[in-house]
Structure 1
Amino acid sequence: MAALRRTLRVPPLLARARTSAGFLVTSCLADRYLWDRLHAQPRRGSVPTFDWFFGYEEIQGLLLPLLQEGHATCPLRVLDVGCGTSGLCTGLYTQSPHPVDVLGVDFSPVAIAHMNSLLKGGQGQISLSPGHPASRLQFRKANVQKLGPVTPSGSFQLLLDKGTWDAVARGGLPGAHQMLLECLRVLSPQGTLIQFSDEDPDVRLPCLEQTCRGCTVTVQELGPFGGITYFAYLVKSTH
């Protein structure tokens, strides 16, 4: 697991922050203060969200079949851990033809305030409309290593982690391990956790297989997006 300490690529948002807060690019990606500052940065153009790695459109082909499979649960409960100001939650809410109940959580109050404002039509944007009339979306501040205050065990059929494990691991592997255990705790029987990352399967798969006892772990290659190949690590509960 020591291989997880490798240096991560600097996301474009961090690179843009050099001019106004250059010290941020050398900060730990597990530091909430770093993300508060970055999410408060002015956004270029009219795009109100920022996606690390890629956006909803690039992975909807992977997500929609999973939503279709879980159609018996109406609406399907989806948790995005470390949602930041990503368009992943909003994309699911506005574009999924299947009913979804989406919760985005993040430890940055700046990110959560931004997304709640966007949901209500703030920042010069039109209020978001669901792709299915039964769909719901909310954002709440929460520590992904301690999800008890926001959700009980076995609550979600689908958990999404787009780069959050990568960031938390920069603060130490015990924290990343605790985050994974929390994800498994709130995952419902037969539910699926998906970790999106650029980390090589030779490194990530052994870590997941060691921790996720009683689950099946598979990997799908994604992209390349922007010249980079990514991976979707699917952890499916068999309880």
Structure 2
Amino acid sequence: MGQCHHDKSKPLSYLDLGCGTSSLAGNILTNSPTPVLLVLLDFVSEALHYQKQYISTCTALIPESSCQLVCADVMFLPFGDGCFNIAVDKGTMDALLKDKVNGHSKAQVMMSEVRRVLAPGGRFLQISDEDPDTRLLFLEQLNKVNSSHVLTEQTTLDAQLLGDNCESFVGSTHCQTARTLPVSKQLSSWSFKVIPTSWNKEYFILWSDNHH
């Protein structure tokens, strides 16, 4: 699958889009030989409280790694442009698409935000149980959409100190987000790989790189 490009003098910045109660971040923290800055984002505060407790039990493989907790909407990411090397979606877009009325437009806005915060040479990973041919076509269509619209939303952020390996990202505050995504900023073509599981269910990991 190759590697994303980043400045080796800085930690690899990793954004988990809708972290939920997944153990993925903890596994990365305890196993990564490369310094990582993990940012766990979720709209549900209870999920973040769970992650706070879970991450506090994890010991980072190297002391330079850290973790941050952010309560926000994936459609209004409270981050600057081009600040993440990796963005990961584990079923978040799947959840948005369950909305039969507005799901497609929500996924479009989410994709626009991911492209905006992804650094040049960064990578967007998506894990889904949807048929890869169907999802690949959908993602390619989203990537080609004219996304020059402006997003404006009053977003409440709430981050907390997580433990010895984690640090506070932002305090309880309000962040006015308004930005325009350039039309030319698109990801490369998508690829996928099958992930078998022990319970006879297949998942698919899809990825695309930001070359701009």
For Structure 1 versus Structure 2, the TM-score category normalised by the shorter chain is 0.7 to 0.9
**Structure with the greater relative contact order (CA < 8 A, sep ≥ 6): 1 or 2?**
2
Stretches of structure 1 that go unaligned for 5 or more consecutive residues are: 1-61, 121-126
Q: CA deviation at 1:214?
A: 4.5
Q: CA deviation at 1:66?
A: 3.4
Partner of 1:220: 193
Asked if structure 2 preserves the Cα contact closer than 8 Å seen for 1:77 and 1:155, the reply is yes
Q: CA deviation at 1:73?
A: 5.1
Asked if structure 2 preserves the Cα contact closer than 8 Å seen for 1:216 and 1:238, the reply is no
Partner of 1:211: 142
Partner of 2:68: 138
TM-score calculated relative to the size of structure 2 = 0.73
Q: Which amino acid aligns with 2:208?
A: V
1:184 equivalent to 2:157? Answer no
1:178 and 1:73 map into 2 onto residues whose CA distance is 32
Asked if structure 1 preserves the Cα contact closer than 8 Å seen for 2:25 and 2:38, the reply is yes
Asked if structure 1 preserves the Cα contact closer than 8 Å seen for 2:187 and 2:208, the reply is no
Identity among equivalent positions (%) equals 34
> Considering only aligned residues, what root-mean-square deviation do their CA atoms show, in Å?
1.8
Partner of 1:88: 24
1:233 and 1:225 map into 2 onto residues whose CA distance is 20
Any idea what the Cα deviations from partners look like across 1:34-57, whole Å, max 9, x if unmatched? xxxxxxxxxxxxxxxxxxxxxxxx
1:165 aligns with one of 93, 107, 125: 93
Partner of 2:3: 66
Partner of 2:53: 117
1:196 and 1:214 map into 2 onto residues whose CA distance is 17
Asked if structure 1 preserves the Cα contact closer than 8 Å seen for 2:187 and 2:210, the reply is yes
Asked if structure 2 preserves the Cα contact closer than 8 Å seen for 1:71 and 1:98, the reply is no
Partner of 1:234: 207
Closer/same/farther in 2, CA of residues 155 and 173 from structure 1, 3 Å limit = same
Asked if structure 1 preserves the Cα contact closer than 8 Å seen for 2:115 and 2:187, the reply is no
Asked if structure 1 preserves the Cα contact closer than 8 Å seen for 2:26 and 2:54, the reply is no
Asked if structure 1 preserves the Cα contact closer than 8 Å seen for 2:41 and 2:71, the reply is yes
Asked if structure 1 preserves the Cα contact closer than 8 Å seen for 2:6 and 2:121, the reply is no
1:156 aligns with one of 52, 75, 84: 84
Stretches of structure 2 that go unaligned for 5 or more consecutive residues are: 144-185
Q: CA deviation at 1:84?
A: 0.6
**Corresponding pairs, count:** 167
